Structure 1
Amino acid sequence: MISHSWLAAAAALALSSTVAPPALAADAPVAWNAAVLTRAADWYASPDARRIADSVLSHQSREGGWPKNTPLTDPARRGADPGLANTFDNQATTLPMAFLARVTTATGDPAYAAAFQRGLDYTLAAQYPNGGWPQYYPLRGGYHDHVTFNDDAMIRILDLLQDIAAGSEPYGFVDPAQRARAAAAVSRGIDVILESQVRQNGVLTAWCAQHDAVTLAAAWARKFEPPSLSGSESVAIVRFLMSIDNPSPEVVLAIDGALAWFERSAIRDVRLETYTNAEGQPDRRLISAPGADPLWARFYDLKTNSPIFMGRDSVAHDDLADIERERRMGYTYIGTWPSVLLRKR
């Protein structure tokens, strides 16, 4: 029998992911973000929910996807560029599908069920044969075509498909054949996660935020997002692997390797401080703080495991202070992401 120190943490994480947050009051303002999934079950049959669902339908592309960074509570503008849709970035497509599933369950309206099904067909069609998902589909070229863990895009897809495959509420209306398709896609997704995990001298470590769609090598995204080991995106990957019932020995090894890498890669005795610089501008810096809670860099060198701080000039630095202030304030280079996985080990 396998015995691992992370099993208790996995159980706690699974419980926290299945227990719904407190439901919002029926008269609480509605904004298009993850909070639209936290309403009381009967709210999804309300006129307000149906109005929003109709608006969500107006934004669905002919391929079946949805745009990012768009308030789907407002109807699509006439003449809106359909090319802005069709992405999984920033909760696009997965969040609309999860919302429509709740309205479908509450109302039984076939229009919402059909839109959800189109979204599911789109999501399954976007999966690469190796099991990964690009950021955009149809493909656009460039880094958008990489297998995209960045900002947890692929893990959100897998979480959604895993719930659909299980027939968990609110996905009980999905028929068995579609649930089987979702389950097969999740299985392929797990395969590509295991295959893309970076090894250093044969030792399993973590993942890059994006991997080449063919070779699965760590790959560039934007100019300040280099091929590297991710102290951020790797956390959601491990959480997903921990959610798998009866994990295979390969999944167990992947989790153990990543958790050990998080332990080795912690940045200790420093604290991230926001302050006002000599020009009167808000800025960030790392300062000495013995005994402070550990931090992790978003990017680590693939060979040395040294933290990387990179601005728009694509030059790697070992100090946050060496990149431009605009990036220091406009991007998260360092954080506490793995702490939730490690504190219960």
Structure 2
Amino acid sequence: MMKIKILLTLVCSVLLASCYAQLPTDSTADKMLVYQLGNGGWPKQLEDKSVVDYALPLTPELLGKIKSTRDLHATFDNKATSREVVYLIKAFKKTQNQAYLKAAQKGLDYILMAQYANGGWPQYYPDKALYRSEITYNDDAMINVLNILQDIATKKNDFEVVDPAYIKKAEKAIARGIDCILKTQVKQNGNLTIWAAQYDKDLMLPAKARNFEPTSLSTSESVGIVRFLMRISNPSPQIKTAISAAVKWFDANKIVGYRFDRATDPQTKVKTAALVADNTSTVWARFYDLDKNTPIFGDRDNSIKLRMEDLAPERRNGYAWYGNWAQKLIEKEYPKWLTANGSK
């Protein structure tokens, strides 16, 4: 009898192992499982400052670097963590591999844990060094997170697969996040404008980041904020006002007839960033003075220039100082939103 039990156990084990072996996998998702930190987040760089690159093979040397990377490196910067959560959810939807869903939900736990009581998210958590603890809209860090939570709350973009318990958690986090967004929209003489790229986590006032990222109004990030707010069903009067005020600011401060380009000097063959005349193009500067709405440009020496041409060559040519970020928003997306929300 004992031999039969042992035999049955072995048969079941073999069958179970066979089932797992046949479970579809995704090579990138598998690597994301390896890179995930103990607190549930993901780094953008490893301990040795090498950039996370899922195209690289997991060599013993790379695995050693990943293993030595501390939880302090968990971040929302450069789409880290949000990128992985989104990818893993889609990989689970495609493969039904539970390991991917488990890792994604651990990432969601990290996202929820990192939110401040005032509704904002830092660039890094739990690292508080330098500007990493500031409420961070820069590079869409906070908005990427809020879009994930909105997908959970509305069961969109494959997020219907997550544990239903996350829906209420997401709704609460979104409400706090929107409250933070509304409170941080910059006012000039009582009039709402757009947003800064980052804010002091306690005072909720605009703050600087790197030397060349001064305290300022930030156009690229503000477009992302408006697009997120336009996703909200049955928006409150406060949300509607915030959206309309931002679009009004974008329209008033657009630079018509130019595009941002890097022209090549025919003699030196060096490319130099410049505004080039183009009557088909509309652009905005990346940063504007908080009070005057004039374009400003930060240099590595912490100085602020009023002309891009006055920057040191490395900074002039190493940053997106202008872009057409708001063009589609104000010409197509906002009118469509107005119609959908009974404003036209």
Which category of TM-score, normalised to the shorter sequence, fits these structures?
0.7 to 0.9
**Secondary structure at the residue paired with 2:132?**
helix
Q: Is 1:197 matched up with 2:185?
A: yes
- 1:284 and 2:273 aligned: yes
- CA offset at residue 179 of structure 1? 1.4
Structure 1 gaps of 5+ residues are 1-44
Q: Using the TM superposition, give the Cα deviation of residue 56 of structure 1 relative to its aligned residue in structure 2, in angstroms.
A: 0.9
Q: Which residue of 2 aligns with 1:56?
A: 32
Change (3 A) 1:99 1:269: closer
Select the residue among 81, 100, 116 that pairs with 1:112: 100
How many residues matched?
Answer: 299
Q: 1:61-100 residue pairs with structure 2 within 5 A?
A: 61-68=37-44, 69-73=51-55, 74-75=57-58, 77-80=63-66, 81-83=68-70, 85-100=73-88
What is the CA-CA distance between 1:309 and the residue it aligns to? 1.5
Between 220-229 and 179-188, report the one with greater CA deviation.
Answer: 179-188
**TM-score, structure 1 length as denominator?**
0.82
For the Cα contact (< 8 Å) 1:59–1:72, is it kept in 2? no
Give deviations 1:21-41, integer Å, cap 9, x for gaps.
xxxxxxxxxxxxxxxxxxxxx
Residue pair 2:208, 2:215 contacting (<8 A) in 1 also: yes
Q: Do structure 1's residue 151 and structure 2's residue 139 form an aligned pair?
A: yes
2 CA distance for matches of 1:197 and 1:230?
Answer: 11
* Deviation by residue 1:120-152 (Cα, 9 ceiling, x = unmatched): 111100000011100111133221111111111
**Distance 1:171-1:269 versus aligned 2 partners, 3 A rule:** closer
Deviation at 1:169, TM superposition (A): 4.6
Structure 2 gaps of 5+ residues are 1-21, 45-50, 336-344
Aligned counterpart for 2:150 among listed residues 162, 180, 188: 162
C-alpha deviations, 1:87-120, integer Å up to 9, x for none? 1111111111111112222333332222112111
Cα drift, residue 326 of structure 1: 1.1
Of 237, 255, 261, the residue aligned with 2:225 is 237
Q: TM-score, normalised by structure 2?
A: 0.82
CA distance in 2, matches of 1:272, 1:286: 5
Kindly provide the amino acid, as one letter, of the partner of residue 147 in structure 1: I
Q: What is the identity, as a one-letter code, of the residue corresponding to 2:273?
A: R
Do 2:259 and 2:277's aligned partners in 1 also have CA atoms closer than 8 Å?
A: yes
Letter in 2 for 1:337: W
Aligned counterparts of 2:258 and 2:37: Cα–Cα separation in 1? 47
Equivalent residue, structure 1, for 2:307: 319
Tell me which residue corresponds to 2:262.
274
For residue 271 of structure 1, report the CA deviation from its aligned partner: 3.6
CA deviation after TM superposition for structure 1 residue 279, in Å: 4.1
Query: For 2:65 and 2:289, how far apart are their aligned partners in 1?
Result: 45
How many Å separate the matches in 2 of 1:302 and 1:52?
A: 42
Describe the shift of the 1:319–1:174 C-alpha distance in structure 2 as closer, same or farther (beyond 3 A).
Answer: same
| Of 235, 245, 248, the match for 1:257 | 245
AA partner of residue 206 (structure 1): I
Query: How far apart, in 2, do the equivalents of 1:96 and 1:135 lie?
Result: 16
User: Per chain length, whose mean CA-contact separation is higher, i.e. which structure has more relative contact order (CA < 8 Å, sep 6+)?
Assistant: 1
1:60–1:85 contact (8 Å) kept in structure 2 = no
Per the alignment, do residues 279 and 95 of structure 1 end up closer, same or farther by CA in structure 2, a change over 3 Å counting? same
Q: Which amino acid aligns with 1:204?
A: L
Percent identity between the two aligned chains: 44
Q: Distance in 1 between matches of 2:281 and 2:240?
A: 27
Structure-2 separation of matches of 1:208 and 1:103 = 35
The CA RMSD measured in Å over matched residues stands at 1.9
Instruction: Flag the structure with larger Rg.
Output: 2
Q: Do the aligned partners of residues 265 and 176 (structure 1) sit closer, same or farther apart at CA in structure 2, a change above 3 Å counting?
A: same
Alpha-carbon distance between aligned partners in 1 of 2:169 and 2:69, rounded to the nearest angstrom: 27
Distance 1:106 1:273, change over 3 A: closer
Of 303, 310, 331, the match for 2:291: 303
Q: Does 1:218 align with 2:206?
A: yes
Aligned counterparts, 1:14-53, within 5 A: 47=24, 49-53=25-29
Q: Quick one: structure 1 residues 330 and 246, their matched pair in 2 at CA, closer, same or farther if it must change by over 3 Å?
A: same
SS at match of 1:272: strand
1:341 to 326, 329, 333: 329
Change in Cα spacing, 1:272 to 1:113, as seen in structure 2 (3 Å) is closer
How far apart are the structure 2 equivalents of 1:287 and 1:52? 40
Amino acid at match of 1:105: K
Q: Is the 8 A contact 1:133 1:147 kept in 2?
A: yes
